[in-house]
Amino acid sequence: MNRLILICAAVVLAACGRAEAPDPAPGPAEAARAIADPAALVRGLYDQYTTPPQTSPALADEPWTQDLRAQLRAMTARSNALNEPILNFDPFTGAQDGAVSDLAVASDGVVENSHAVVRAQFALEGAPREILYDLRWENESWRIDNVRSACWDLRQIAGAANEGAIAVPDTPACR
């Protein structure tokens, strides 16, 4: 479990050290699909969780909006200053580790070329989980603007002036 925390922290730290390159523009077919199905972006995030080996994707590689990417970089800088992780769980699963199964991803609402909400439901080690993704249309493609559950909100965690690590609350609904 501590190994996963260190890996997630290292990935976020690596993202902060890299110069931000512009995201490549999608081709016409990809852009048309992205407009029609923002859930396809979220489904792709879970490929690494549902096919062996099951590993967390690199947070630095994810298609964040420019604003959220800046917040995550600032969080990482605060984490470095504190010499401990601020985010100590994987926001795509809402946990530190575990195998994802029974994945279902669907768009809850889409305003074409503007914003969308995508719901990911799955089992994590047999327990049901639900993660919501707020997407924004930016640079001609869908970008993740927030990741949240009933127990936490990535934007709030990244934007808070935390004094230490943020863990998923230890309540039955968040386990």
Res. 174: pLDDT tops 90: no
pTM of the model: 0.73
Q: Which two tokens stand for residue 62?
A: 């994810």
Mean pLDDT, residues 142-159 = 94
H helix or E strand, kind and range, residue 104? strand 100-111
Q: Which two tokens stand for residue 61?
A: 């590689």
Instruction: For residues 156 and 58, give the distance between their C-alpha atoms in angstroms, rounded to a whole number.
Output: 20
Q: What is the pLDDT of residues 119-148, one digit of tens each?
A: 999 999 889 999 999 999 999 999 999 999
Beta-bridge mates of residue 90: 95
Residue 1 pLDDT grade (very low, low, confident, very high; cuts 50, 70, 90): very low
Count of Cβ atoms closer than 10 Å to residue 24 Cβ:
9
Residue 17 pLDDT grade (very low, low, confident, very high; cuts 50, 70, 90): very low
Mean pLDDT, residues 10-16 = 39
Instruction: For residues 10 and 116, give the distance between their C-alpha atoms in angstroms, rounded to a whole number.
Output: 30
Mean pLDDT of the chain: 77
**Which range in 3-7, 84-88, 111-115, 158-162 is most confidently predicted, on average pLDDT?**
111-115
What percent of the chain clears pLDDT 70, i.e. is strictly above it?
A: 65
Residue 43 pLDDT grade (very low, low, confident, very high; cuts 50, 70, 90): very high
More confident position, 3 or 108: 108
Residue 103 pLDDT grade (very low, low, confident, very high; cuts 50, 70, 90): very high
Nearest to 158 by CA among 67, 96, 43: 67
The SS3 call for residue 144 is: strand
